[in-house]
Amino acid sequence: MRAFEAVQQYFNSAADELELNDELRTLLTIPEREITVQLPVEMDDGRKVSLLGYRVQHNRARGPMKGGLRYHHEVDLDEVRSLASLMTWKTAVVNLPYGGAKGGVAVDSRAISSREKERITRKFVDEIHELIGPDKDIPAPDMGTDHEVMAWFVNQYNKYAGFNPAVVTGKPVEHYGIPGREEATGRGVGILTIKALARLGRKVAGSTVAIQGFGNVGAHAAKFLAESECKVVAISDVSGGYYNADGVDILNAARFARDHQNSLAGYPNADQITNEQLLELDVTVLIPAALGSVITTDNADRIKAKMIIEAANSPVRPEADQILIDRGIPILPDVLANAGGVTVSYFEWAQNRQFYQWNLNRVRGELDHLLTTAFETVWELAAQRNVSLRTAAFMVAIERVARATKLAGLA
Ligand code: NAD
């Protein structure tokens, strides 16, 4: 099953519950626009290569479209399409005034220099600038892109459209960005993990947590949960997993990674395990925060966690989702669990449009408020209708987008 089909399977389960008619199903499934562009770029050694860039604008019934820009060698149209549709449901479940989009360039971001990355970014803006903008479609960082890429993006876009920092979010804080954006997704994962533990009647202090991925999302989630007195017993990155039954010292691990080119390889204060073993640990909470499709029919039967929080996008395959549901393991779905990033992106966009700088306390307070409201809405609906948290989250989102579509006279 390809990526877009997997998201559609979740969409269809929720649409069935809502008894959504065929006309709306079609309108909410097919992306409004899909753009593929050729990007001829000169590399540092003088070679000229032609890369492929994509932007899928899935739905704008609720506002300008919003979604990240990914530089990764496996990027293709189907993946971008699936992530764009997830953004439509993610922005709707948190009730942000946005639709959904996603973009990408098929290039190995670790194999290119910073100068090459800059040229690729500027060329991509040259090709799509007419189709994006603060009122149309607002990109942001994703895998392989960061605040530096966003700064180049704004600079190139401004050459066409004049001063317009709200065209992208995730910019450097001192360059029209917002404090708290970098920590936002991981912090949101942490906030919602605490809410879910409380709803399941479990004590926060001493609950054990395993986190796959120690990048932006995983490391910030780990920090937040350790500060909340959870015991983070395992962390991992591409180099492998690190387990300590007494709890990994997260600040110490973060310092180690920073001093070793963002890698945990050789981290001394834990036992080395594999990423596969980490997923199967007997913990209270499992947080996949690295790649998609890591929980499949191959390992779903061996998952021992009492609850899964989807910090990564699509870490659980639909077939595995059903196995876990049947085993009574609740899954807080990606469209809610990792929505902290796009929520603070929304604050950044609002800040840019107000020409008024928000402070960190305000950002954290409003993030907590919006995520908590969305969480309570989804949890209540799941209980009321006796459906999974994922189906409930999709139901909340689909209802909002369908209503906006009807009010606009499109259905
Ligand atoms: P990142 O690049 O900062 O970190 C990724 C981490 O995953 C790194 O520690 C890396 O070593 C690890 N990793 C890579 N390959 C791995 C493998 N094969 N096995 C185990 N670990 C591996 O990325 P990030 O921003 O932290 O994003 C992580 C996930 O969260 C992605 O799925 C992303 O789409 C999703 N997400 C991110 C944000 C955001 O704001 N950054 C928002 C929503 C969703």
Residues at CB less than 6 angstroms from ligand 1? 142-143, 185, 212-218, 236-238, 275, 289-291, 311-313, 338, 341
CATH of domain 31-88+99-175: 3.40.50.10860
Q: Per the structure block, which two tokens stand in for 146?
A: 């960061």
pLDDT at 1: 81
Nearest CA to ligand 1 atom 23: 215
The amino acid at residue 122 is: R
Query: How far, in Å, is the centroid of ligand 1 from the Cα of 371?
Result: 21
Q: With contact defined as beta carbons under 8 Å apart, do 195 and 368 qualify?
A: no
Ligand 1 atom closest to residue 315's alpha carbon, by position in its atom list: 32
pLDDT along the chain (411 residues), means of 10: 92 98 96 98 97 98 98 96 97 98 96 97 98 98 94 98 97 97 97 98 96 96 97 97 98 98 96 98 98 96 98 95 97 98 98 95 98 98 98 98 95 85
Are 96 and 9 in contact, with CB atoms under 8 Å apart? no
DSSP-assigned states of every residue in 96-160: -S-EEEEEEE-S-GGGS-HHHHHHHHHHHHHHHGGG-BTTTEE--B-TT--HHHHHHHHHHHHHH
For residue 14, give the H/E element and its range.
helix 3-18
Length of the chain: 411
Catalytic residue among 90, 102, 117, 171: 102
Q: Other CB atoms closer than 10 Å to residue 240's CB: what's the count?
A: 16
Kindly give, in sequence order, each residue whose CB lies less than 8 Å from that of residue 172, ignoring residues fewer than 6 positions away: 147, 148, 150, 151
Determine the residue of 238, 296, 371 to mutate for testing ligand 1's pocket, defined as the one with the most ligand atoms within 8 A of the Cβ atom.
Answer: 238
Judged on CB neighbours under 10 Å (0-12, 13-18, 19+), 301 is exposed
Q: What is the position in ligand 1's atom list of the atom closest to the CA of 83?
A: 34
Distances 5 to 8, 82, 164, 340 between C-alpha atoms, Å? 5, 8, 36, 25
Does the active-site annotation cover 102?
Answer: yes
Instruction: Identify the burial level of 122 via C-beta atoms within 10 angstroms of its C-beta, where 0-12 means exposed, 13-18 middle and 19 or more buried.
Output: middle
| Encoded amino acid at 267, one letter | Y
Cα 172 to the center of its chain, rounded Å: 19
DSSP class of residue 357 equals: P
Find how far residue 338's CA is from the centre of its chain: 5
31-88+99-175 and 178-411: same fold? yes
Ligand 1 atom closest to the CA of 291, numbered from 1: 32
CA 203 to chain centre: 27
pLDDT of residue 17: 98
Rounded to the nearest angstrom, the distance between the alpha carbon of 373 and the centre of ligand 1 is: 26
Kindly report the protein residue whose alpha carbon is nearest to atom 40 of ligand 1.
341
Q: What is the DSSP string of 321-338?
A: HHHHHHTT--EE-HHHHT
Please tell me the distance from the alpha carbon of residue 263 to that of residue 281, in angstroms, as a whole number.
Answer: 22
The pTM is what? 0.96
Q: Which strand (E) or helix (H) includes residue 216?
A: helix 216-227
- CATH number, domain 178-411, options 3.40.50.300, 3.40.50.2300, 3.40.50.720, 3.40.50.1370: 3.40.50.720
Burial of 293 (0-12, 13-18, 19+ CB in 10 A): middle
Q: Tell me the domain boundaries of the chain.
A: 31-88+99-175, 178-411
Of ligand 1's atoms, which has the minimum distance to the CA of residue 185?
A: 40
pLDDT at 411: 85
Which residue's CA is the nearest one to ligand 1's atom 18? 238
